[in-house]
Amino acid sequence: MAIDTANSADRTSLVNELNGQSGTKVAKSDVAAMQDRFMTLLTTQLKNQDPNNPLDNAQMTSQLAQMSTVEGISKLNDSISALLDGYKSSQTMQAASLIGHQVLVDGDTLTLNKALGGGAVELKGSVDSLKVNILDANGQVVRTLDKGPQAAGVQSFIWDGKDQNGQQLADGQYSFTVEASKGGTKADATALALVGVSSVVVNNGGIELQTIGLGSRQMSQVRQIY
């Protein structure tokens, strides 16, 4: 009995298709159907093989191994997708728990409420001098807080709402700038604003916090939570 070479070719084509060698992207839902077709073709060929000229064991074993590998990769992809979905859901719940809390994020706004306001500065390294300049709505410096030498990290500050002359200023929105130096050279310093979180938005797969006064901020920008 002659070997069915058409079945062998079809079987090879199926393996190539599953491995993405055919140039056509195969949907996940088609993988199981292709595996069934492969096994049907293989079983038929085994039944009709010529005893004097049996199938090439090496080729058959290789194709079976490839089929098993493709199936394993498909299951691994499904598992990874499930883990990612679970992670995103957990991250969303974590972000939602921040609503109503105050956070330190990149920004230079400062709210004076009942003669009390505050913010922070992030330093990449220690500094010999750190100054925080409080500005009014017109951009004029109304108070300079001299914090002196500071270590690396997030350094917070509190403002009592008084100007340079000791006069109490009205509650409202202010801003601030920072000046940091070491050895007479300007040092890297990032202003951090203390703002409230009003809502959470999922945008293009990422999670953003809507803050009061600063707009949207990424979760990665949050330094501290209060």
Percent of all residues in the chain with a pLDDT value above 70, rounded to a whole number: 59
- What is the tens place of the pLDDT at every residue in 146-185? 999 999 999 999 999 999 999 999 999 999 999 999 999 9
Q: Are the beta carbons of 128 and 181 closer than 8 angstroms? A: yes
The first and second tokens of residue 107, run together, are 């920004």
pTM of the model: 0.60
- What is the tens place of the pLDDT at every residue in 127-154? 999 999 999 999 999 999 999 999 999 9
Q: What type of residue sits at position 156?
A: S
CA 135 to chain centre: 34
Distance, in Å, from the CA atom of 1 to the CA atom of 178, rounded to the nearest integer, reads 89
Residues of the chain with CATH 2.60.40.4070: 102-225
Residue 186 or 48, more confident: 186
- What is the tens place of the pLDDT at every residue in 64-81? 666 666 666 666 676 666
pLDDT at 211 over 70: yes
The first and second tokens of residue 65, run together, are 């191994």
User: Positive or negative, the Cα torsion across 134, 136, 139, 143?
Assistant: negative
Q: According to the model, what pLDDT value does residue 204 have?
A: 74
How far are the Cα atoms of 100, 101, 104, 157, 198 from residue 193, in angstroms, in the given order?
16, 13, 5, 11, 15
Distance, in Å, from the CA atom of 211 to the CA atom of 152, rounded to the nearest integer, reads 26
- What is the tens place of the pLDDT at every residue in 15-39? 555 555 444 444 545 666 666 676 6
| Residue 195: other Cβ atoms inside 10 A | 22
Q: Name the band, by pLDDT with cuts 50, 70 and 90, for residue 113.
A: very high
**Highest CATH level, class, for 102-225:** mainly beta
> How many residues are given for the chain?
226
Q: According to the model, what pLDDT value does residue 2 have?
A: 43
3-state secondary structure (DSSP) of residue 23 = coil
Distance, in Å, from the CA atom of 224 to the CA atom of 128, rounded to the nearest integer, reads 24
Q: According to the model, what pLDDT value does residue 19 have?
A: 55
Q: According to the model, what pLDDT value does residue 183 have?
A: 94
Instruction: For the chain, give the mean pLDDT.
Output: 80
How far are the Cα atoms of 57, 91, 179 from residue 188, in angstroms, in the given order?
67, 31, 9
CA dihedral 98, 192, 210, 82 (to 10 degrees): -60
